[in-house]
Amino acid sequence: MGFTGRPRVAVFTLGGTIAMQAAPGGEVTPALSASDLLTAVPGLDEAGVELTIHDVANKPGASLSFCDLFGLADAISSALGDGSAGAVVIQGTDTIEETAYLLDLLIASDGPVVVTGAMRNPSLAGPESLRQ
């Protein structure tokens, strides 16, 4: 990857409510990728950052394992070590605080790591993640 002159931000997705789509039978399941979520952010193309996208998992927040989170911490550490200015983790809110705390313990870099999610899935009126 060549230098573009823009800061690089690594985006990691784990699933959760923010990535849910309606399934047959009226249930919702994690189905949206990082690309799907980022495409819905107005003005992101003009934000002046280079995004690297990493779909790590697509699970409900309560279904994340320690293995998932240790792998995520390693991937974030690698991205920050390879020149990313920071990292964003998109995941379910059921375990968002636990993920943020564990990442704080496991990642030695001083680079910023933001963990975010949504309480309303995109199939509901007024979702926090996708434009309607």
Tell me if 61 sits within 8 A of 91, measured CB to CB: yes
How many C-beta neighbours within 10 Å does residue 96 have? 18
Cα dist from 35 to 32, 63, 74, whole Å: 8, 22, 21
Which positions are annotated as active-site residues? 17
